[in-house]
């Protein structure tokens, strides 16, 4: 964070310095131009005075010079050329137009020979230049830079604080504290970054939890078929009867098939997160979409002697969905409802002020209250009668929840108040 402060302050102050230096240089050049113009004016004035005095007798030069000084309010005096010691190169300039510009530590002045009176020189003293107060300039410059630094620090402090919190949270996540989140502040300069960070942290936490659960469940469930395979191999090796060996081999083949099916299901679930990033959203009439699903499941419902009804919205509603995955989620919920219902399954499409809701309920035995909190966890089976040998691994509802979350929605399970069985409510945000 210190680097951020220093880099921004150095960049701003450096920019100010370069701009200020450029402006000072421009002003200085302009001042030099203005001073040169002033000197040119005084040179022309001195040239006019010398020509005016050249027509006068020598004995009237002093009085005429004094009159010029009083009349034009300038400091001009008459001097002898013998009193001025100059190199030969400079002496030549005394007779040139505008005269010679000389300067001492105290003042600057012009010297000009009077035509026809070569021994006499006019000395025109130039007005002193106004010296700037360097100490005041340095003080004001320091105040400027200090003010800029203060404003920058005041602006950067909230940003630095939020970035420090982000850095600290990222460090904690790196150490394994996956439940760490950044408190959202709507006045933060990096509000979107903080929100994205929290979403990323939640995703990482969920992925890690799913992977741990997947590894634990897979390592637990694979032990039984592995033991059966080892027992079958040992029995087949020790057995001399060909028919019995074939029986053992058939059992081992069945166990291998179960292991393959289980591993495939687990890996398919583990790889689902990649699918959520690449959803193929399509705009569909959600009334027609739900009605088509109900029509597809009529045959299954008739097979179980179940009445499957569908209640749609009064007005058609277009909604963006990934048809493949959303169809799979609804299909899973309806097939479960049909298998657990006594006589009736109802699918209802409704709309609230902010959400579109899809409710699937049946008139079966319902859900155990102590299982409602874990019903969507992977590898959780509510029905102990459905074995993994039959391809039931407790992933159906977990997959449904993932698909609904991909569509920015929520799914909730409870016992139905209408049909007394289970009720699953999918809530999607309005588009």
Q: Any long-range contacts for 372-381 (C-beta under 8 Å, 24+ apart)?
A: 372/413, 372/414, 375/413, 376/400, 376/401, 376/411, 376/413, 377/213, 378/210, 378/213, 378/214, 378/217, 378/269, 379/213, 379/214, 379/217
Q: Does one domain contain both 254 and 355?
A: no
Residues 157 and 168 in one domain: yes
Q: Residue 374 in 3-state DSSP?
A: coil
Q: Determine how many CB atoms are found less than 10 A away from the CB of residue 260.
A: 11
pLDDT on residue 389 = 47
Considering the domain architecture, whether residues 417 and 292 belong to the same structural domain is answered as yes
Residue 418 and residue 298 in one domain: yes
pLDDT at 133: 59
Tell me: do 424 and 367 sit in the same domain: yes
Same structural domain for residues 114 and 11?
yes
Q: Give the phi and the psi of residue 409 in degrees, each rounded to 5.
A: -110, -175
The reply to whether 285 and 425 lie within a common domain is: yes
CA distance 41 to 105: 22
Say yes or no: 324 and 334 in one domain: yes
Last residue in a domain, options 179, 203, 227: 203
CATH number, domain of 7, equals 3.30.450
Residue 141 shares a structural domain with residue 167: yes
Q: With contact defined as beta carbons under 8 Å apart, do 347 and 359 qualify? A: yes
Q: Which residues pair with 75 in a beta bridge?
A: 125
β-strand 282-285 against 100-103: which pairing, if any?
unpaired
- SS3 of 415, please? strand
Predicted local confidence at residue 206, as pLDDT: 78
Q: What pLDDT is recorded for position 277?
A: 61
Q: Using one digit for the tens of pLDDT, what is the confidence trace for 342-401?
A: 899 999 999 888 899 999 999 988 888 878 878 887 766 665 444 444 445 577 788 888
Show Cβ contacts of residue 107 under 8 Å, excluding neighbours closer than 6 positions.
125, 126, 128
Pairing between β-strand 307-311 and β-strand 344-351 as defined by DSSP bridges: parallel
Domain boundary among 252, 274, 296: 274
pLDDT at 387: 46
What pLDDT is recorded for position 175? 86
Residues 176 and 251 reside in one and the same domain: no
Q: Alpha-carbon distance 100 to 96, whole Å?
A: 8
Parent domain of 383: 278-429
Give the pLDDT confidence score for residue 220 in this predicted structure: 64
418-431 pLDDT tens trace:
888 899 999 999 87
CATH code (residue 335): 3.30.565.10
Q: Are residues 114 and 25 in the same domain?
A: yes
Residue ending a domain, among 72, 106, 125, is 125
Residue ranges in the chain whose pLDDT is less than 50: 33-34, 384-391
Order of all β-strands in the sheet with 117-125: 75-80, 117-125, 108-114, 100-103
**Residues 318 and 286 sit within 8 Å (Cβ to Cβ):** yes
Please check whether residues 71 and 150 belong to one and the same domain: no
Domain count, the chain: 4
């Amino acid at each position: 964070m210190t680097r951020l402060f220093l880099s921004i302050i150095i960049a701003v102050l450096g920019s100010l310095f370069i701009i200020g230096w450029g402006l000072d240089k421009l002003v200085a050049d302009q001042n030099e131009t203005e001073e040169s113009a002033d000197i040119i004016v005084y040179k022309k004035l001195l040239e006019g005075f010398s020509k005016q005095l050249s027509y006068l007798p020598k004995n009237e030069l002093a009085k005429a010079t004094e009159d010029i000084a009083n009349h034009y309010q300038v400091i001009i005096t008459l001097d002898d050329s013998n009193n001025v010691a100059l190199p030969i190169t400079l002496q030549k300039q005394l007779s040139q137009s505008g005269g010679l510009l000389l300067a001492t530590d105290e003042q600057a002045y012009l010297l000009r020979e009077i035509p026809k009176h070569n021994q006499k020189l006019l000395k025109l003293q130039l007005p002193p230049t106004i010296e700037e107060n360097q100490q005041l300039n340095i003080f004001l410059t320091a105040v400027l830079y200090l003010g800029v630094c203060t404003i920058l620090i005041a602006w950067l402090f909230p940003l630095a604080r939020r970035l420090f919190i982000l850095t600290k949270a990222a460090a904690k996540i790196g150490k394994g504290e996956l439940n760490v989140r950044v408190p959202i502040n709507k006045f933060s300069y990096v509000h979107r970054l903080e929100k994205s960070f929290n979403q990323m942290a939640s995703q990482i936490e969920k992925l890690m939890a799913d992977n741990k659960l997947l590894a634990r469940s897979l390592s637990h469930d694979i032990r039984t078929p592995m033991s059966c395979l080892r027992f079958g191999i040992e029995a087949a090796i020790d057995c001399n009867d060909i028919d019995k060996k074939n029986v053992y081999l058939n059992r081992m083949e069945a166990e291998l098939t179960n292991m393959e099916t289980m591993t495939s299901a687990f890996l398919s679930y583990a790889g689902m997160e990649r699918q959520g990033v690449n959803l193929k959203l399509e705009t569909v009439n959600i009334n027609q979409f739900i009605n088509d699903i109900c029509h597809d499941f009529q045959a299954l419902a008739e097979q179980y002697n179940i009445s499957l009804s569908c209640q749609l919205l009064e007005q058609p509603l277009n909604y963006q969905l990934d048809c493949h995955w959303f169809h799979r989620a609804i299909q899973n919920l309806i097939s479960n409802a049909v298998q657990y219902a006594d006589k009736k399954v109802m699918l209802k499409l409704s709309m609230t002020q902010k959400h579109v809701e899809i409710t699937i309920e049946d008139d079966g035995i319902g859900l155990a209250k102590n299982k409602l909190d874990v019903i969507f966890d992977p590898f959780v089976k509510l029905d102990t009668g459905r074995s993994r040998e039959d391809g039931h691994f407790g992933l159906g509802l977990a997959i449904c929840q993932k698909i609904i979350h991909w569509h920015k929605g929520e799914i909730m399970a409870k016992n139905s108040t209408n049909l007394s069985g289970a009720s699953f409510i999918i809530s999607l945000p309005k588009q």
